[in-house]
Structure 1
């Protein structure tokens, strides 16, 4: 058990920026127990109108501006301190993987694909 986090690309445009059912998707990234990134994504989910009580098994579309903001947060080491049952701890070793995901996500957007984040805990 624990926090499993995923990012995907899809050619099917989501009907809404949150809480949508995705089309066929390709995995861009996987993280295991990186709660600070998950907390950042939850803040974005709420800002985009997400209302699920638990930020779990819901989809969040990421656009170019979101990726810019995420890159800034990663590079400045300002992802919000986040904790939860079975979430583990962010330890800083995720830095390069986070930046690699952002690069892959930008490439997917450049190809005209949609990018989204989801998690399961």
Structure 2
């Protein structure tokens, strides 16, 4: 067991303006969603998970941030990139979340995700983050 984290994309028009509270099973089942799984995957990168949880709360999320999704907008990706460069991703403790180290492969995967998210936006797609612990 542990913190498994995913970035995925769907056609933006499927979500409209919705920012939180997506049901991935329903999105996958909808043929018009053109669901694209695992745009990125991380395991126990709790620093990023904490950042995403804060974004979820900012967007109105109130549930325990487990199996909950948050939509990332282009400005969110820009802020994530700035916060990453400034060292603002902080250790988020949790029983299944791993230790306080950030591994080089986590940084590499995050940089790739940022570039891939921007490519998805350019295609008119929405980018979502969800996790399970």
Partner of residue 124 from structure 2, selected from 105, 108, 112: 112
How many angstroms apart in 2 are the aligned matches of 1:92 and 1:75? 15
Shift of 1:56: 0.4
Paired residue for 2:80? 70
What TM-score does the superposition give when structure 1 sets the normalisation length?
0.93
Structure 2 residue corresponding to 1:33, chosen from 29, 44, 55: 44
Structure 1 unmatched ranges of 5 or more: none
Unmatched segments (≥5 aa) in structure 2: 29-34
1:45 equivalent in structure 2:
56
The match for 1:86 among 96, 101, 108 is 96
What is the TM-score of this pair, normalised by structure 2? 0.85
After TM superposition, give the deviation of residue 21 of structure 1 in Å.
2.3
**What is the aligned length?**
120
| Structure 2 counterpart of 1:5 | 5
Q: How does 1:51-62 map to 2 (within 5 A)?
A: 51-52=62-63, 54-62=64-72
Is this contact kept in 2: 1:14–1:61, CA < 8 A? no
Q: Return the structure number with greater helix share.
A: 2
Structure 1 stretches of 4+ with a deviation exceeding 3 A read: none
